[in-house]
Chain A
C-alpha cells in the first residue's frame, strides 16, 4: 500500500505493518474483514430499523391503495387533482425558496461583516450567538414571534402607541404565509452565517492583494475572484437552508395551528385522523417530500465535491 512512503519514522513503520498483514494467508484476511464488518452491524441495524425502513415503508405504501392493498398510482394522481394538496406543495416549495434566498443573501453579507470584524471577542460573541439562534426554533420560536408581532405583541403595540399604526388593520398578520416567512428567516439567517464563515475563511487575503496590485476594483475582485470561488459553498449552504425549511413542521404548526397549508401540516392531518385524508395519500405526500429533498441533496453533494476541488477541503 504505502510501501514507498518512507519519509518519516511513523510512515515507514506503518507501511511495514501493512506489508506483514498483506503477506499473511488470504483466509486470515477474510476473517479479519468479516470481524471488521461485524463491528458495524449493531449501528447499521439500528439505522435500518429506525431510519431506512420508515423511509422505505413510506415510499412503498405510497403506491398502495390503503383500502384494497393493491398497487396503484392513484395516490399521486390525487395530489394533482385535489387543489389543496397541490397548493401545499407550492406553498412548501415557495416558502423554502424564498426564505433560503433571503436568508442566504443577507446571511452571507452578515457573515462577511463578521469575517471583517477585527475585534476577536466580538467575532466569537456573534458566532456564538448565531449558534444559539440557529438552534432556537420550533414551538418556542413561534411563540417568540407571537410575543413580538402577534395581535398583542410587543412591536405591534409599540406601533400603535408610538406611530398610531395598527399593523393588523393594514393587512399584516403573523399567522399567515407571509408571517411564517418572517419566522423562518429567523432560523435561516444564523444558519447561513454559521455555514458561510468557514467558507470565507478559505479565502486568502493574498488573492485580494494580488488582484488589487493588478488593478482590479473592489467590484471586479468580488465578481471575478471571490464570488466564483465561494459560489459552490454558497449554493450548498442555500440548499441546506432549503431542506431546513422544507421539512419544518413545528414552527408552522404552532404559529398557524394547522391553518397554514404546507405539506408537513397535511401529513400531520393524516396521522391525527382527518377524514378527508387517508394513509395512501399521506404516503404520497411524504414520498413527494422525499423526492423534492432528494433533488436538493443531490445538488448539495455535487456542490460539496466542487468545494473540495476548489478549496482543497
Chain B
C-alpha cells in the first residue's frame, strides 16, 4: 500500500507519519461510508430472498414443504415448466447457430460491418421488449406494402404461409433479439482475444476448409464466450414474461403470475425455483468461464440479461 514511501529515504519520518496516517485512513475507511453502504445494499438484496424462502416453507403456522408438493402435483406447472425449458433450449441453440458464425465472419472477413453490428446489438436498449412484441404482432398480423417490400417478401411468406403470428417459433426469434446485447459481446470478446486470423490461416494451410476450421478450431477456442452467452440466454427465456403475455402463450412465468394471484405461498415456492435457475446459470458462467485461468475477467459487466 505504502508504495510512495520507498523512494524518498531522506524524509523517512515524514513518510512514516504519512503512512501511519494512511493506515489510520485505511482502517477508518474499512468501516467507512462505502462499507456501511455495501452492507446495507447486500441486506437489501438478501432480505427479500430470505423472506421469500421462509414464506415458501412456512405454510401458515408451521414449517412444511407443502407448497413445493402442491407445485409438483399441479398439472399447469407440469406443462408450462417443460415448455419454457424447451423454448429456452430452442432459443439458445438458434442464438448460437446465428451469432457465432456471424461474429467469426465479421472478425475474419468483414470488420467494416462492426458499426452495423454495434448498432444492431444496441437496438434492444432503445426498443424494449413490450414495444418489440407490439411491433411483431403488427408486422405479422396485418399486411402492409412497406413491410413486404422492405423484407423482400419474407414477411408475407411468414405470416400467410407459415402463420407465425403469436406462435412459439416467432417468440423464439424475438427472444434471440432480446438476448442480442449480452450474447454477441462475450462471443466477440473471445474471438478478439484468440488471434482468429492466425488460427484460421494455420488451419487453412493444413488443408481444412472454412466449416472445418470454424467447427474444430474456432469453436473450441471461444467456448467460454459461447457458454456464457448460452447460459444468459437460457436464464432470460426462463423468466421472460412480456412477450409471452402479449402473444398469449402460456409459459412458466405466466403460470407464476397467475398462481401468485391466488396462492402467495405457492408463488413464493415458484419464485425460489425461478431464482435457483438464475443462480445455476450465473454460477455456471462464473465457474466455467470466469474462474478459468486466463478467462475473460473483464466480462463482468456483460452478465446482465434478465427480462424485466
Q: Which residues of A contact B (CB under 8 A)?
A: 10, 14, 35-37, 39-40, 42-58, 60-61, 106-107, 109-110, 112-114, 116, 124, 126-148, 150, 152-155, 185-187, 189-191, 193-195, 197-198, 205-206, 209, 212-213, 218, 240, 243-251, 253-254, 257, 264, 267-268, 270-272, 279, 282-283, 286, 289-290, 293-294, 296-297, 300-301
Contacts and interface: CB of A to CB of B under 8 A. Distances in A.
Give chain A's interface secondary structure class: helix
B106 interface: yes
Nearest to A142: B260
B283 to A, nearest CB: 7
Contact of B308 (A113, A138, A145, A283): A138
B245 A253 contact: yes
A282 B139 contact: no
B135 interface: yes
Interface residues of B, number: 110
Contact of B44 (A129, A131, A185): A185
Contacts of A155: 47, 51
Contacts of B122: 297, 301
B307 A137 contact: yes
A60 B308 contact: no
A284 B122 CA distance: 22
A270 B134 contact: yes
B35 A49 contact: no
Nearest to B302: A194
Contacts of A60: 146
7 contacts: A56-B150, A113-B38, A116-B30, A145-B48, A146-B264, A147-B268, A286-B131
Contacts of B93: none
Contact of B128 (A48, A116, A140, A293): A293
Interface of B: 3-4, 18, 22, 25, 29-30, 33-35, 37-38, 40-42, 44-45, 47-52, 54-56, 98-99, 101-102, 105-106, 109-110, 113, 116, 120, 122-139, 144, 146-147, 150-152, 154-155, 158, 170, 173-174, 176-177, 180, 197-198, 232, 235-236, 239-242, 245-246, 253, 256-257, 260-261, 264, 267-268, 270-271, 274-275, 278-279, 281-283, 285-286, 291, 298, 300-301, 303-308
A143 B260 contact: yes
B151 A53 contact: yes
A33 B111 CA distance: 11
Given A55-B132, A126-B42, A135-B305, 18 more contacts: A39-B102, A39-B105, A43-B98, A52-B123, A57-B139, A116-B30, A139-B256, A139-B257, A140-B274, A150-B264, A154-B52, A198-B298, A198-B300, A212-B18, A243-B126, A247-B128, A289-B128, A300-B125
B110 A290 contact: no
Contact of B253 (A36, A127, A139, A205): A139
